[in-house]
Amino acid sequence: MEISQFSDYALRVLIFSGLEAERCSVPEIAKAHNISHHHLVKVVHHLAKAGFLQTFRGRGGGFQLAKDPGTFTVAEVLRSTENLALVECLPPREGTCCLSGCCVLKGAILKARHAFLAVLDGYTLKDLLLPRRTLREALALSPE
């Protein structure tokens, strides 16, 4: 299983935001990760709508975490950013597979998805912020 680039960027935005006490900006994160400003705007918008980020408009605007990093899990973020249907017979899709009523694969994929998310439910954003000093250096952030 592979998470989407959108989810990868969402986690990077949250990690960067969690390391900064001040407001962050899309250009800062785009530069630190060498990724598209355009994609990050969409990611930040989604994370704000989902309640993970608080945004500020105007001069000196930007965004910051809307919640304490210890209060939400990696799986919560992925549930917000990923299509976890995985195959067409799982909700919310309405597939046309003729095997959907008798196929064992659907149950196996449901179990695998549950196990994947259960592991990630054990990690909060706070867990991803360690080791802080090393992460800050990797992102070229000033020492705390």
pLDDT in tens, 88-124: 887 777 778 888 788 898 889 999 999 999 999 999 9
Q: Could you tell me if 2 and 86 are in contact, meaning their C-beta atoms sit under 8 angstroms apart?
A: no
pTM of structure: 0.93
Query: Can you give the pLDDT at residue 17?
Result: 98
Name, in order, each residue with C-beta under 8 angstroms of 44's C-beta and a sequence gap of 6 or more: 13, 26, 53, 55, 63
Residue 48: band (very low, low, confident or very high) from pLDDT cuts 50, 70, 90: very high
Residues composing the chain: 144
CATH number attached to the domain at 5-138: 1.10.10.10
55: tokens are 């945004």
Residue 132 amino acid letter: R
